[in-house]
Structure 1
Amino acid sequence: MKNWCLYIIMMLAFVSCSEQQTMEDTLASQKLSEKKSVVVATPQDSIASLLHQARWGDSKAYLKLADCYRDGFGVKKDLLGMITMTAIAEERGGIQTMEDYFKDLPNEHEYKTLFMLMERYKSYIPESADSVIQVLRGNDSPEAQTLLAFVMMDQGDTITAKRLIKEAADKGCSLAEIFLIVPDRKPVVKSDADKFAIIAEQVPIIYNLLGNLYYETEENGETEEQLAIEYYMKAEEHAMLGRKGAARVLNYYHSGGNVQLTEDDIKRLELIVKPQQMETE
């Protein structure tokens, strides 16, 4: 079975941009998650306010941002944005696992259904594949259309898959837009960077991906660190910078690289690299 879409989503969106937690950090995150209460985005929460809190390490703000992407509150309704925010909340101790967030959603919510279908499809037995296809065909959202395309691709129907992904991208599905750039799930390479840059402001997690592309050494030994750092800081502005990117920005800065960081910038980057347990009321 080919890698299922959830893991490809996470590879593109966040996990590839973060590093493994130390045992100390993991224990701290678990301790914090045990203390957490249910958090829900409210009309009093503006996106700007939540982004500010998230950038300063508030893991609960990430859960509220996930709510915003879930319901289209202040941002485009977007499954990829929702998954990204829950993944960061998990890494920073806001929840035990991202699956917990989805399990707590109302049963009738379409994103819960789609997430559970992704989980179910991992085993890829014929019976589950058939039932997944039926449910996805009955859902007219562009996200469901994209997931259906992945199933079709797994079953060898690439013509239908590409048509579905194109239609979903035209409807503004972030996940479909990404797969238009990297069809057939090919590895992301620097030649794809210009295409990714076009949609990065609408899909800001891509700034992490662009940072990685320009930071990592090419076969000729060259790297474009300064451009990579600029993209990493763009990701930080949207509260989507991972640990690896934050560590690279700090290393570049401390080694005399051409980047202007304020004291607040440095503090926020340090919080990403080594999260500190936040005081709870």
Structure 2
Amino acid sequence: MTRIRIYHSLFITLTATMSAVTTLADNAIDFNETNMGESAEVIVSDTLPVSEFTAVHGDTFVSLTNLIERVRQGDMQAYETLADCYRYGKGGVEKCMFNAIICYQLAGQKPIDVAEAAFNANPNDELGLMNHLMVIMDKHGLDSLGVAMKSVDIPDYKWANLLKNIVANAGSDNSRDYILSMVDGNSTGDEFLMAFASLHILTRHLPDLESTPKALLMAEKVPFMYNHAGEKQWDKYREDESANKENLDSAIMYFQKADVNGFLSPRNARRIMSINARKCADISRYFDKNDIQRLIRIGGSDEDYDEADVVEMDMNPVEKIEDTESAQVPTL
């Protein structure tokens, strides 16, 4: 059995909701079947087209806010456009390959195929290069990654420069503290990804997203991670529902943070709509009536959520995956 790609490991370890991404893509709403006015092709930013619709009064909305709203409704083509926005730093969002990877997945594409095609066409393509380096890191470790990175000139990407520094200090006894010291509120989502990916390779452990302030900062740059933060609070609430109602409110707050950016998972949409949540929390603090109808569509049902249906992910999957890869150091 071969090792899985490192950012897939991170999806499992950081979010425990990788299956939810595919589910959301499967449950995406077909806007061609909705009555929202006449269809019009518009440009969101430079060369990024999205299938948009005119409102009743005839105006066409092309703002990032409108694109996010279409994403929140489950429009797969909007997810693809948002992926391109994150990939190229267009349309008013900060460039972030990790967000692009998530959005491509939500759009029903295979991010690995997109990245490999980009790398084959241009080895300096940022998404393709990141994927290529992370595959080397996952299969061969940081030492081999360092050798590979020295063999070519790598563009001046912030995450690549951080990765070079991490590799150079990987043998230090304080490497974990050093890695965590390199990311803060000013770091990009991709810098957080490099830091936590490296930490995972070195220690087979990642800081808990909810309890570690620096890890929670990553969610501000990669909003999909708010799903995991909310799930941690949800689990604490379910341990003792009568005593831990504050955890329920915190869970819904984190789910709302994921939702406003278009990254709420269907499973967590169902949690928000569950009987427990509606009885014990003030849902209206975070979601209005229109949101409720949208959450029902995204989640697939407004019935009580059965925790037994949750597939628990292995929190350290790489430890149990047999490494049969060649020991040969790859080249870029």
Structure 1: stretches of 5+ with no match in the other structure: 30-39, 276-281
1:214 aligned onto 2:214: no
Q: 1:274 offset after TM fit, Å?
A: 3.4
1:173 aligned onto 2:196: no
Q: 1:196 to 1:241 in 2, by over 3 A?
A: same
RMSD, aligned α-carbons: 4.3
Query: Hey, what does 1:264 align to over in structure 2?
Result: 290
Q: 1:215 offset after TM fit, Å?
A: 1.1
Q: Is this contact kept in 2: 1:78–1:173, CA < 8 A? A: yes
Measured in 2, the distance between the counterparts of 1:160 and 1:139 equals: 25
Measured in 2, the distance between the counterparts of 1:136 and 1:266 equals: 52
Measured in 2, the distance between the counterparts of 1:269 and 1:70 equals: 27
Please identify which structure carries the higher helix content: 1
Query: Hey, what does 2:77 align to over in structure 1?
Result: 60
Q: Which moved more, 1:11-20 or 1:79-88?
A: 11-20
Query: Hey, what does 2:208 align to over in structure 1?
Result: 188
User: Aligned ranges for residues 15-164 of structure 1 at < 5 Å?
Assistant: 16=17, 19=20, 42-43=45-46, 45-73=62-90, 74-89=92-107, 94-95=108-109, 97-105=110-118, 107=122, 108-124=124-140, 129=145, 131-134=147-150, 138-148=154-164, 156-157=171-172, 159=174, 163=178
Structure 2: stretches of 5+ with no match in the other structure: 29-42, 50-61, 302-332
What CA deviation, in whole Å up to 9, does each residue of 1:66-122 have, x standing for no partner?
111111111111122222222322xxxx32x22233244352412211112323443
Measured in 1, the distance between the counterparts of 2:141 and 2:210 equals: 36
Q: How does the TM-score come out when normalised to structure 2?
A: 0.61
Measured in 1, the distance between the counterparts of 2:211 and 2:149 equals: 34
Q: 1:18 offset after TM fit, Å?
A: 5.2
Query: Hey, what does 2:11 align to over in structure 1?
Result: 10
Q: How does the TM-score come out when normalised to structure 1?
A: 0.70
What is the count of residue pairs matched by the alignment? Answer: 257
Q: Is this contact kept in 2: 1:166–1:176, CA < 8 A? A: no
User: Aligned ranges for residues 195-210 of structure 1 at < 5 Å?
Assistant: 195=214, 200-210=219-229
Q: 1:240 offset after TM fit, Å?
A: 0.9
User: Aligned ranges for residues 249-260 of structure 1 at < 5 Å?
Assistant: 249-251=272-274, 252-255=276-279, 257-260=281-284
Q: 1:263 offset after TM fit, Å?
A: 3.3
Query: Hey, what does 1:274 align to over in structure 2?
Result: 300
Q: 1:79 to 1:146 in 2, by over 3 A?
A: farther
Q: Which moved more, 1:129-138 or 1:109-118?
A: 129-138
